[in-house]
Amino acid sequence: MKALEMLNGLGPTSPLGSPSSWPAGLQTLVATVLQAPLQVILFWGTDYIALYNDAYAATIGDKHPSAFGQPASFHWRELWHDLEPLLAQVRETGNPVLMKDRPFAIERQGLPENVTFDISFSPVPGEAGAAAGVLCIVNETTERTAYEQRIRESEIRFRNMADSAPVMMWVVDETGYCTYLNLRWYAFTGQTAEQAEGYGWLEAMHPDDKERASSVFLQALASKQPFRLEYRLRRADGVYRWAIDAAEPRFTPDGVFVGYIGSVIDIDDRFEIEQKLRQSEADLRAITHSIDQMIWATRPDGFHDFYNDRWYEYTGVPYGSTDGAGWNDMFHPDDQERAWAIWQESLSSGKPYHIEYRLKHRSGEYRWVIGRANAVRGPDGEILRWYGTCTDIHELKTAELHRSALVAFQEKVADLDDPVDVAYAASQMLGDALKVDRVGYGTIDIEAETVLIDRDWTAETVESLKGVRHLRHYGSFVDDLKRGETVVFEDAERDPRTRDKAANLAAISARSIVNIPIREQSGLVALLFINSAKPRHWTEEELRFIRDVAELTRQAVERRRAEAELRHLTQTLEEQVLQRTEELRRSEEQLRQSQKMEAVGQLTGGIAHDFNNNLAVIIGGLSLLQRRLKRGETHDLERLIVGATEGAQRAATLTQRLLAFSRQQPLSPESVDGNRMVAGMNDLLVRSLGEHIRIETVLAAGLWKTRADVSQLENAILNLAVNARDAMPDGGRLTIETANAHVDDAYAGEHDIGAGQYVLIAVTDTGTGMTSDVIARAFDPFFTTKVVGKGTGLGLSQVFGFVRQTGGHIKIYSEPGQGTTVKIYLRRFYGEDAPPTIAVVEPQAPRGTGERIFVVEDDDRVRFFTVETLRELGYSVTYAASGPEALSVFEAGHRFDLLFTDIVMPEMNGRRLADKALELQPGLKVVFATGYTSNAVVHNGIVDPGTNFLQKPFTIDQVARKLRDVLDATA
């Protein structure tokens, strides 16, 4: 509990009463105590009431919080006999008391402890001036004093041990001042403590060695590093003997440098031998550095302590960096465990060391070497050292491995019949041998600049490139391939042929590439490719190996293809007949399905239900309107008119859906950027689908253009999105994805579409999914899985009709409970984009200024409505009921500003009438109107260029804007 909370909790029952009743001076003092960062306690009054801050609370352990605001004599009773006299002294004399490392015996966790404190007692005057309390500032020093005590005890133990040691020992402080020399030093040198301590020990050193030894010592002192040196030390009889002096730095537990502890050993007896040995070693080193082979040596335990210059020149590593066990890091990661195991076996058995492994060259490449070593033994057979060599055998070893791989490849493909399996076996062999990320073999379409990859070998984390790939998408090196040149680049980001396509290559893990062209008499026919996800240098040995594999693969693949063609030609007549019969059966089935779908487009029976509902609204509303007008009633007329209008618009929508499914809807195609269109629909989809549907878009980079009617394509996607929403009543995720796609001949033949390149738009939901029966009927008109009144069953059929009319393909993939994906394939568009048009939004229907309009319509009711509409809009109108009748008016010499004609009419259709009229009145402007698209102005579902077309039924606003657009347009 916080001290401030304890203070606020004191009440009238407290010995001091409530804090609000305290003298102002005491209140101020206690507030200061509570905020102090140091450990502070106030003993107040004759009972020494304890008031302390949070910092002090930790010092008294479990006495807190019960001690707060209570007499100290109770809670500090175990040391009250010691503490009370100190408090009384300060309170009675008014003099402060300051003590360092003052010991106390205290209980703060239920057990007695011996502790020490730095403590300051200060008197606190009361209102009368006399000391009313004692303010104590404390700092516990128990840990420090205990540590210092341990140091003193350790020092005593050290001196006792050092004086008994068989070698000379010494200690200096952080300044280098010698504070201790053991008895062995004084016995050897004959110095006294007064002569040796400080810096006097240097006087026992040979004068010729003193400057060098002092320099080593001072450098080590400055860097606080261990040191080791040899010098001549004067013995008590005056003889100088060689000694070795070694020392280690000393640090406190918190890292403070406190000096050195060292030892001195007389080595004079072996010094001469060591000198001769060093000379011998120097001669040996000179010899080993002079030869071309890499030479190394180790201690008996295998610790590498020598390499000749050839080792460092070959590996390029710093001198000494491979001492000890560091040499194993220079081996290829795949060889390290094997090399280490063989070396350990030699060390334990004494057998010669022999191994082939890959060693990292200074170029960064791993090269094959032979490592050999033999032990040198003493007279008793004990191993004294190991001496070894490394010999570069990279060219020989690589050639051997490549030969072995080629032999194994030929043995493996001998049992393979499928050319794809042969190419994959070659890819797998190259991938394993070269440790790359992908190897593949593909056939080339030289005109399309594409490669078809049936199967490729990849590393575990690398995706396959199976399918058709456009070579130009990854750089200009396709031109080199056409010339029969091998394409090699180490880094796509630096090669001028691939620099601008480096991102595409990085995306398929092909930062570095080798492409071997396969050519026949006809030219470039295939490609063997090797990919590395990281930049890589390709050696000449590797390129020769790859070329050999490419040639063998080409021969094997072509042989298998020839054999496969021969087997195909030798099939029995019965099998051929069965195959042709099955193909014919499938063709007839596809024809029946196509005829079925075309016939369904002509059906009208299924629309009767919804169409009659709309007619009921129209007829009922108009009937009520007629009755009320006869009675002179005017209330609710607007609502009846609106209801009838809405019924008519719904009927028109149903008709348009039927036309879309039957592929009779007129389309105005243009170049479409699928990514831009999908991105632009986001707000519309969010509003249409609701907040419980999460919408995601996955837009492909480099998406091709397509050509379609934009409004109809947007309507198709919206239809699919609404269906997806209905399949996710509890919410879910809708994903719209774009991609480039290639349809091969097999798929195209199976689905009655053209092979080639397509733009794919896929709509995927996480909804309830469909069974195979529902998928089979999903595009049938009037078929729906929704409850009555929730759909006409024309949504998907309309999408189907639009896609097929556009020359595309649509496919459903779904499983119950797993969601649904609908894929729309639209032909890739290679033409130029048309300039964008800017739509002008009129605030109201534009009116005429008396222009002469000639209306030709065979239906009396439509003609009456059209004529009245145009007159209402301010035009001068002449009309005719047929083409011949209208033509006679033109032949009589009458002239008009615009011909407004139906297309489908008996005797003479609108197209022929317009052609005849234009002969009689060149420059005449024409608007065609119809409720059904014939081939007069619409061919293959596409409105003829330059044709002014108005779809029936139309509103007054629509016909008004169309006429003004045509009349105001410049010739």
Task: List, for residues 167-198, the tens digit of each pLDDT value.
Answer: 888 899 999 999 889 888 999 999 998 998 99
Contact predicate 468/742, CB 8 Å: yes
Q: What is the pLDDT of residue 609?
A: 44
> Contacts by 247-252 with C-beta closer than 8 Å and gap 24+?
247/220, 249/220, 249/224, 249/225
- Lowest mean per-residue pLDDT among 247-251, 328-332, 628-632: 628-632
User: Which segment, 47-51, 160-164, 950-954, is predicted with the most confidence on average?
Assistant: 47-51
CB contact set of 88 (below 8 Å; sequence gap of 6+): none
Torsion angle defined by CA atoms of residues 350, 352, 357 and 358, in that order, rounded to the nearest 10 degrees: 90
Q: What is the pLDDT of residue 844?
A: 62
Task: List, for residues 98-146, the tens digit of each pLDDT value.
Answer: 999 889 888 888 888 889 999 999 999 887 778 889 999 999 888 888 8
Which residues pair with residue 939 across a beta bridge?
Answer: 942
Nearest 5°: phi and psi at 40?
Answer: -130, 135
What percent of the chain clears pLDDT 90, i.e. is strictly above it? 32
CA distance 529 to 452: 12
What value does the mean pLDDT take over residues 574-592? 68
CA distance 345 to 326: 18
CB contact set of 662 (below 8 Å; sequence gap of 6+): 598, 600, 601, 602, 801
Can you give the three-state secondary structure of 436-449, one letter per residue?
Answer: CCEEEEEEEECCCC
| Number of residues written out for the chain | 971
Contact predicate 846/960, CB 8 Å: yes
- Lowest mean per-residue pLDDT among 25-29, 423-427, 527-531, 936-940: 936-940
Q: Which residue has the higher pLDDT, 430 or 605?
A: 430
Global pTM?
0.32
CA distance 119 to 101: 8
Q: Is residue 917 predicted with pLDDT exceeding 90?
A: yes
Q: Is residue 205 predicted with pLDDT exceeding 60?
A: yes
Closest CA relative to residue 355, chosen from 328, 305, 390, 401:
390
For the chain, the straight-line distance linking the first and the last C-alpha, in angstroms and rounded, comes to 94
CA distance 821 to 720: 10
DSSP structure class, residue 476: T
Q: What is the pLDDT of residue 793?
A: 45
Closest CA relative to residue 369, chosen from 348, 353, 349, 350:
353
